[in-house]
């Protein structure tokens, strides 16, 4: 190999190493929970309460007026983590006159969660989601059927509004999905979030 070829090969190799280093740094970087701009030390309990949230199985949308999650958070190993410990669901209805919601409830709590960054945007990913819904109605196609929603869901974190937003776009961006009856379902909800222990009334953010 001549000197010119060796030089070119060397430059390509160095460039490849630099690119790998950049991607490795990006992949290793993860957001943390913060209050008033300072990283959370220890743990905190936060609550995300949606004004309205819905889950759509193809052909049927179930909407809950009261949909919230209680989340125990901490920073661990350079990443914001947490556990969803409570998910109260009340006043749930469907978009079909034939179908009513007899019972609905979260199962297998706590659900693990962690923060992640995708294309400069920060998300909270909730894993192990499991919600059981029993529908009723003589003319309801799913009447008497226990529908179990399972999977994981990623929500976009907005530091300015202090919210987490879940929809088809945020789930796709985080590579997460929820399924029921063998089909992918949609979850839509915007959850204003605030602390309920040591950092009450302090601005919460992720970065």
- Residue 175 DSSP SS3: coil
Q: Give pLDDT, residue 1.
A: 52
Q: Give pLDDT, residue 53.
A: 93
* pLDDT (tens digit per residue) in 29-52: 589 999 999 999 999 999 999 978
Q: What is the mean pLDDT of residues 100-126?
A: 97
Instruction: Report how far residue 162's alpha carbon sits from residue 205's, in angstroms, rounded to the nearest whole number.
Output: 7
Q: Give pLDDT, residue 46.
A: 96
Q: Give pLDDT, residue 9.
A: 38
Asked whether the beta carbons of 79 and 114 are under 8 A apart, the reply is yes
Query: What are the sequence ranges of the domains in the chain?
Result: 1-30, 31-206
Give 22 or 50, the one with higher predicted confidence: 50
Asked whether the beta carbons of 127 and 113 are under 8 A apart, the reply is yes
- Residue 52 DSSP SS3: coil
- Residue 40 DSSP SS3: coil
* pLDDT (tens digit per residue) in 153-205: 999 999 999 999 999 999 999 999 999 999 999 999 999 999 999 999 999 99
Question: Considering the entire predicted model, what is its pTM?
Answer: 0.84
pLDDT over threshold 60, residue 26: no
pLDDT over threshold 60, residue 109: yes
In sequence order, the 6+-apart residues with CB closer than 8 A to the CB of 103 are 132, 133, 134
Q: Give pLDDT, residue 59.
A: 87
In sequence order, the 6+-apart residues with CB closer than 8 A to the CB of 169 are none
* pLDDT (tens digit per residue) in 58-100: 889 999 998 989 999 999 999 999 999 999 999 999 999 999 9
Q: Give pLDDT, residue 64.
A: 95
Q: Which of 106, 112, 45, 46 is nearest to 83 (CA)?
A: 112
């Amino acid at each position: 190999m001549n000197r010119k070829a060796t030089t070119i090969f060397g430059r390509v190799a160095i460039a490849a190493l630099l690119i790998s280093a950049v991607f490795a740094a990006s992949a290793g970087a993860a957001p943390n929970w913060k209050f008033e701009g300072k990283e959370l030390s220890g743990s905190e309990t936060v609550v995300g309460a949606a004004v309205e949230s819905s889950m759509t199985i193809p052909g049927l949308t179930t909407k809950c007026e009261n949909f919230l999650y209680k989340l125990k958070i901490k920073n661990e190993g350079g990443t914001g983590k947490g556990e969803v410990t409570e998910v109260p669901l009340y006043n749930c209805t469907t978009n079909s006159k034939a179908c009513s919601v007899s019972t609905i409830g979260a199962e297998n709590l706590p659900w693990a969660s962690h923060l992640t960054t995708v294309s400069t945007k920060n998300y909270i990913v909730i894993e192990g989601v499991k919600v059981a819904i029993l529908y009723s109605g003589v003319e309801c196609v799913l009447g008497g059927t226990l529908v179990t929603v399972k999977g994981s869901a990623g929500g976009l974190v907005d530091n300015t509004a202090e919210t987490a937003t879940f929809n088809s776009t945020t789930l796709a961006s985080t590579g997460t999905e929820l399924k029921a009856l063998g089909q992918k379902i949609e979850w839509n909800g915007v959850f204003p979030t605030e602390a309920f222990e040591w950092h009450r009334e302090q601005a919460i953010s992720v970065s």
